[in-house]
Amino acid sequence: MSGTMPSAQQLAEAAALLEAGQIVAFPTETVYGLGADAENPEAIARIYAAKGRPSSHPVIVHVVDGADLSYWASEVPAEAERLIAAFWPGPLTLILKRAAHVPAAVAGGQDTVGLRCPSHPVAQALLSRFRRGRGGIAAPSANKFGQVSPTTAQHVRDEFGEGVFVLEGDGVDVGIESTIVDLSRLDQGVGPVLLRPGAITREMLAKVLGVMPALPDAAAPRVSGSLKAHYAPHTPLAMLDAAGLATQLATLNAQARVAWLGWTEVKDPRVTHVAAPASAEAYAHALYRTLRRLDREHYQYLFVEAVPADGAWDGVRDRLQRAAAAFNG
Ligand code: TXA
Ligand code: MG
């Protein structure tokens, strides 16, 4: 990680804006966030308004490295302590029971709170200046509701214009949103639940927890990413194998222009082949940037080669399935 780092003056300005109840976009190691003071319901309302997001959707509270979690959560179970020791600062969000004084507005009215300690140095620098490190920054991904998350400052400006203050920073390396684990119902006998897969995989969590986190059930806290039409590019997207692509191409006319994000070579003049990265990490890193670029190139379809079935690909597969689901009715 090197290159762009905001000046001390820009960081001070961003912290002052947050303290005044305004919103500020900032880089994290996953995607850019659109931040506001987590203890100021009016500031949180500004995030919802800017994003065009329903206010029933909870947002993640970002905290500085070493923050006292008992301030934010009414209970910090041993499972949380273990995951924090293993993965914070880093791309993991924990859902815990919310402390009574934390505004319900950050949790979309639920009795829980999502907590994340990002590893990105700009996020940490901002968190340590904002309220001298004692505050929390509520921040969803810095995109309009239903769009793919931004991985560059330019993506943020493309969506919000110059009206939103944007801190810049290289090192938005992960490229997809944090893994979310619900630990809020342990006292009801419900073990850890993986609400959203990400760079920290189910297997990595299982190694630390000693149990495989369950997949969400109907009673699990709501996650807006689980709505259809989340993470969606504008161009219709489908995931298929090379044989499925051939079947699709047979239905299209000679003028059709489609993009194929995959590993298998396709010899058809209508197809623009976009080489897919080999590792899940590299694929995730490039995914949203690639979807935004291909969207601007106005293909009739984005065809994506089915990604490997193993756990390392769960995060990428989840985002692609949601993007595809947006066009399946
Ligand atoms: O990597 C990330 O997590 C990025 C960066 C900016 O930190 N943030 C992000 O935020 O992806 P957002 O709002 O786009 O997604 C947050 C997810 C939502 O699906 C939301 O429902 C869930 O976290 N969430 C937040 N607080 C929650 C809570 N108390 N209970 C259940 N789900 C919660
Ligand atoms: Mg989001």
Identify the residue whose tokens are 């051939």.
246
pLDDT the model gives residue 232 = 64
Give the integer Cα–Cα distance in Å for 36 and 22: 6
Strand partners, 33: 26, 141
pLDDT the model gives residue 2 = 47
pLDDT the model gives residue 231 = 58
Give the integer Cα–Cα distance in Å for 71 and 184: 16
Identify the residue whose tokens are 């041993």.
78
pLDDT, one tens digit per residue, over 187-234 is 999 999 999 999 999 999 999 999 999 998 766 665 555 444 455 678
Atom of ligand 1 nearest to the CA of 176: 1
Q: What are phi and psi of 275, to 5 degrees?
A: -65, 130
In 149-279, which ranges are E strands? Answer: 165-166, 179-182, 193-196, 237-240, 258-262, 271-275
pLDDT, one tens digit per residue, over 243-289 is 999 999 999 999 999 999 999 999 999 999 999 999 999 999 999 99
List residues near ligand 1 (CB under 6 A): 28, 30-31, 33, 57-60, 91, 93, 95, 107, 110, 112-114, 116, 118, 139-141, 177-178, 180, 221-225
pLDDT, one tens digit per residue, over 12-42 is 999 999 999 999 999 999 999 999 999 999 9
Atom of ligand 1 nearest to the CA of 107: 29
What spacing in Å lies between the alpha carbon of 131 and ligand 1's midpoint? 22
What spacing in Å lies between the alpha carbon of 7 and ligand 2's midpoint? 27
Give the integer Cα–Cα distance in Å for 295 and 280: 22
Atom of ligand 1 nearest to the CA of 226: 19
Atom of ligand 1 nearest to the CA of 118: 7
Asked if 147 and 16 count as a contact pair (C-beta separation under 8 A), the reply is no
Using alpha carbons only, what angle is made at residue 204 by residues 199 and 209, rounded to the nearest 5 degrees? 130
Atom of ligand 1 nearest to the CA of 116: 7
Give the integer Cα–Cα distance in Å for 192 and 273: 40
Asked if 295 and 233 count as a contact pair (C-beta separation under 8 A), the reply is yes
What spacing in Å lies between the alpha carbon of 115 and ligand 1's midpoint? 9
User: Which DSSP string corresponds to 306-324?
Assistant: PPPSSGGGHHHHHHHHHHH
Predicted TM-score of the model (pTM): 0.95
Query: Which residue lies with its CA nearest to atom 10 of ligand 1?
Result: 140
What spacing in Å lies between the alpha carbon of 149 and ligand 2's midpoint? 6
pLDDT the model gives residue 326 = 74
Give the integer Cα–Cα distance in Å for 152 and 2: 15
Asked if 113 and 107 count as a contact pair (C-beta separation under 8 A), the reply is yes
State yes or no: pLDDT of 133 exceeds 80: yes
What spacing in Å lies between the alpha carbon of 223 and ligand 1's midpoint? 7
For residue 290, the Cα-to-chain-centroid distance in whole angstroms is 16
Query: To test ligand 1's pocket by mutation, which of 28, 32, 180, 288 has the most ligand atoms within 8 angstroms of CB?
Result: 180
Give the integer Cα–Cα distance in Å for 32 and 142: 6
